[in-house]
């Protein structure tokens, strides 16, 4: 595959991983800053999850700490799996009834979550360091 004009494929994947990590951190930070973790937990309870507040805090902490670790390149496969599970939960509990589009024809659909899932799959399926940069032992 021909590399992007000024970034290698590996560098593009690194940018994607860092951006995803930072985006997830912002989600968790916004939930803390606005003080909506409790409301998120109440919403989860209303959807039949008996431990909604605990799940809300777990998702928020995962967004903050997991996002930071992902941005730094640690545990990318496990963290990506965790974020994918959260996105699937969001699709099932919130977005699926709203259709595909996030804005426009419909609101709050699944397209953003599907895109994030695909990005996390890509990050999880790649190595952080290309073979050409690894030291031979």
| Structural domain contains residue 70 | yes
Provide the 8-state DSSP code for 74: S
Please name the residue that has the structure tokens 């595909």: 100
Average pLDDT of every residue of the chain? 90
d(CA 32, CA 44): 17
pLDDT digits (tens, 9 = 90+) for 40-92: 999 999 999 999 999 999 999 999 999 999 999 999 999 999 999 999 999 99
Structure tokens at 128: 């952080």
Predicted TM-score (pTM) of this structure: 0.87
Structure tokens at 42: 């109440």
| Structural domain contains residue 2 | no
Decide if pLDDT at 36 tops 90: yes
Total structural domains within the chain? 1
| Structural domain contains residue 3 | no
Domain span including residue 121: 10-128
pLDDT digits (tens, 9 = 90+) for 47-59: 999 999 999 999 9
């Amino acid at each position: 595959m021909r590399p992007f004009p000024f970034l290698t494929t590996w560098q593009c994947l690194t940018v994607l991983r860092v951006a995803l990590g930072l985006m997830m951190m912002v989600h968790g930070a916004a939930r803390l800053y606005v003080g909506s973790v409790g409301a998120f937990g109440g919403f989860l309870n209303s959807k039949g999850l008996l431990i909604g507040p605990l799940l809300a805090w777990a998702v928020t902490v995962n967004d903050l700490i997991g996002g930071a670790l992902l941005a730094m390149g640690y545990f990318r496969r496990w963290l990506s799996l965790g974020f994918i599970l959260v996105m699937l939960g969001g699709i099932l509990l919130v977005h699926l009834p709203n259709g595909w589009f996030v804005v426009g024809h419909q609101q709050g659909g699944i397209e953003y979550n599907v895109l994030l899932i695909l990005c996390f799959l890509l990050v999880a399926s790649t190595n952080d360091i290309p073979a050409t940069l690894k030291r031979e032992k």
